Amino acid sequence: MTTARLRDVPALSAQADALVIGITGNDSSLVPAPGAQEVLEALGTDFTQTLQDLGASAKLGETCKVPTAGAARAPVVVVVGLGADEEISAESLRRASGAAARALAGKDVVAFALPATSDEQIRAISEGALLGAYAFDRYLTKKHAPIGELVVLTPRAGDRTAKQTVERAGLVAAAVNFARDLVNTAPNDLYPESMATQLAARAKGTKVKVSVTDERGLAEQGYGGILGVGKGSARPPRLVKLAYAPRKAAAHLAFVGKGITFDSGGLNIKPASGMGTMKCDMSGAAAVAAAVFAVAELGLPVRVTAYACLAENMPSGNATRPGDVLTMYGGKTVEVLNTDAEGRLVLADGIATANGDQPDLIVDVATLTGACVVALGNKISGVLSNDEDLLEELPQIAERAGELMWPLPIPAEMNDKLRTTKVADLSQHNPDKWGGALFAAAFLREFVGDGIAWAHLDIAGPAFNEGSPEGYTPKGGTGAAVRTLIQLAAERSGG
């Protein structure tokens, strides 16, 4: 596994296989970022001009490799773009470090000579580099050699706070990468039972207690949503509870994750074009689980209980039909109108279960609707909530963690739409095609206990990158929402 650490040595004498420096500015004038000047000077008089001649760009995340030919201890310098502004944001550092780490896959030791004096900068470089160094090679016969060590050059290498910052960044990045691994694992290997087993194995030696409810337990306790969705599959569903309860806890957070290990749509089967990436439909469950492990390993004084609602949505002679009525955990009845709107059914059971713990706050995370992707694109998650303050606060928490989230409303008309069915308490699916992300949230809100603050994160867009790698975001599973959940827990613990 790749690790990150701090060192206080001049960039030119850093013992590494590659040295990363930054540039800002634009095509007509490149400006060395703090840390770059001495390296560029060693490479030659007016090396900024040489970079320009080489076509190096300050565009965020663009990289250009140059040999040092003895001018530095490292044989290669990677010049990475930090964007046009001389004012360099934490997120620019995170993305540029990630891009540099990707460009240097296969090197053993990579040193970063980027502006790294504040804790925010040290955190951003460490997280970005560790996230960018991620590679998923489980199914490749020829494995990738991962970067061994990422060295962040900083005058604060001896400072306790700075050391804690890089350690925390390591735990956060490992959590994101754990979620990515789960998402990227092929759905013939990752199904409800095997995912539950993996989560239980991950808990060994940690302060997280994992308990798994199998299909018999689910039936005994009335989990109509999870069972209804899982019925069509040969692989039975599971509910996994992950609990971290430190002695001194400032608050109790409940996380609920959608864990559809494959979403074929069920009898309302998806077209081929929409099914190809549907192993990603357990990203919410992966995120909540990864976050709990990280919160425990960070030792944050906050209690966290997560529920991973795991089922495979398949068509078969035993599958749930449109028109079926399910009795959900807690007793509410739901008329199923579209078996492809399965996420809300498993989440409703999870949320209703979380109510029983009387948490201060419930956050559910789900690749829930294509409608949310239409609204916000594939880089921004939707936030919907029953609490005005939370609706405003969560996108800000996300931003501090380096993630993009945006508030969406739950309009009052959704309450009527939820009740167009004549045969059950609630309709599962909206009568018209508009506002699908909002209707889904209105449905989930029905299962939140009285007086409990709740937020729903629709990560259908950002959870899975079908395009090219970018910054610290690889192709495939991205680990969306993991950093936001950890940041939320940290802020609610007063840390």
**Helix (H) or strand (E) run with residue 76 in it:** strand 76-81
Binding mask 267-286 for Zn ion (x = CB under 5 A): --------------x-----
Residue 210 near residue 308 (C-beta atoms within 8 A): no
Rule CB under 5 A: say whether 458 interacts with Zn ion: no
Residue 319 near residue 339 (C-beta atoms within 8 A): yes
The residue (of 304 and 348) whose beta carbon lies closer to Mn ion is 348
The interface partner of residue 181, options being Zn ion, ligand BES, Mn ion, none and the CB cut-off 5 to 8 Å by kind, is none
The interface partner of residue 460, options being Mn ion, ligand BES, Zn ion, none and the CB cut-off 5 to 8 Å by kind, is ligand BES
The residue (of 286 and 373) whose beta carbon lies closer to ligand BES is 373
Helix, strand and coil content of the chain, in percent to the nearest 5, comes to 35, 20, 40
Rule CB under 5 A: say whether 263 interacts with Zn ion: yes
The interface partner of residue 338, options being ligand BES, Mn ion, Zn ion, none and the CB cut-off 5 to 8 Å by kind, is ligand BES
Query: Cα–Cα distance between 476 and 4 in angstroms, integer?
Result: 24
Rule CB under 6 A: say whether 281 interacts with ligand BES: yes
Binders of Zn ion: how many residues, by CB under 5 A?
4
Rule CB under 6 A: say whether 343 interacts with ligand BES: yes
Position with the least CB separation from Mn ion: 340
Query: Cα–Cα distance between 332 and 456 in angstroms, integer?
Result: 20
Secondary structure class of 410 (helix, strand, coil) = coil
Give the burial class of 263: count Cβ atoms within 10 A of its Cβ; 0-12 exposed, 13-18 middle, 19 or more buried: buried
Q: Which of 344, 417, 483, 492 is catalytic?
A: 344
Sheet strands (E) in 264-356? 303-313, 325-327, 333-335
For 70, phi and psi rounded to 5 degrees? 90, -10
The residue (of 169 and 345) whose beta carbon lies closer to ligand BES is 345
The residue (of 235 and 344) whose beta carbon lies closer to ligand BES is 344
Residues lying near Mn ion in the complex (CB under 5 A): 263, 340, 342
Burial 439-477 (b: 16+ CB within 10 A, else e): bbbbbbbbbbbeebebbbbbbbbbbbbeeebbbbbbebb
422 is catalytic: no
Secondary structure class of 330 (helix, strand, coil) = coil
For 98, phi and psi rounded to 5 degrees? -65, -45
In the complex, the smallest distance separating the C-beta of residue 77 from Mn ion, rounded to whole angstroms, is 48
- Please select the residue that binds ligand BES; options are 125, 314, 460, 488, rule is CB under 6 A: 460
Query: Cα–Cα distance between 20 and 17 in angstroms, integer?
Result: 10
Residue 261 near residue 216 (C-beta atoms within 8 A): no
417 is catalytic: no
CA Rg value for the chain: 24
Secondary structure class of 63 (helix, strand, coil) = strand
Secondary structure class of 374 (helix, strand, coil) = helix
The residue (of 263 and 349) whose beta carbon lies closer to Mn ion is 263
Q: Which of residues 340-359 bind Zn ion (CB under 5 A)?
A: 343
Query: Cα–Cα distance between 230 and 314 in angstroms, integer?
Result: 7
- Please select the residue that binds ligand BES; options are 37, 89, 206, 338, rule is CB under 6 A: 338
Rule CB under 6 A: say whether 364 interacts with ligand BES: no
Q: Which of 207, 209, 270, 332 is catalytic?
A: 270
Rule CB under 6 A: say whether 261 interacts with ligand BES: no
Binding mask 438-457 for ligand BES (x = CB under 6 A): --------------------
The residue (of 284 and 395) whose beta carbon lies closer to Zn ion is 284
- Please select the residue that binds ligand BES; options are 181, 263, 297, 312, rule is CB under 6 A: 263
Binding mask 127-146 for ligand BES (x = CB under 6 A): --------------------
Rule CB under 6 A: say whether 371 interacts with ligand BES: yes
Alpha helices in 7-118 (DSSP H): 37-43, 47-54, 90-103
**Helix (H) or strand (E) run with residue 438 in it:** helix 436-445
The residue (of 162 and 341) whose beta carbon lies closer to ligand BES is 341
Secondary structure class of 273 (helix, strand, coil) = helix
In the complex, the smallest distance separating the C-beta of residue 260 from Zn ion, rounded to whole angstroms, is 5
Nearest to 175 by CA among 213, 208, 215: 208
Secondary structure class of 169 (helix, strand, coil) = helix
In the complex, the smallest distance separating the C-beta of residue 273 from Zn ion, rounded to whole angstroms, is 15
The residue (of 281 and 446) whose beta carbon lies closer to Mn ion is 281
For residues 398, 384, 493, 164, the Cα torsion angle rounded to the nearest 10 degrees is: -20
The residue (of 263 and 324) whose beta carbon lies closer to Zn ion is 263
Residue carrying structure tokens 């936030």: 383
Binding mask 387-426 for ligand BES (x = CB under 6 A): ----------------------------------------
Binders of ligand BES: how many residues, by CB under 6 A?
16
In the complex, the smallest distance separating the C-beta of residue 232 from Mn ion, rounded to whole angstroms, is 12
Q: Kindly list the catalytic residues.
A: 270, 344
Binding residues (CB under 6 A) for ligand BES: these are 263, 281, 338, 340-343, 367-371, 373, 429, 436, 460
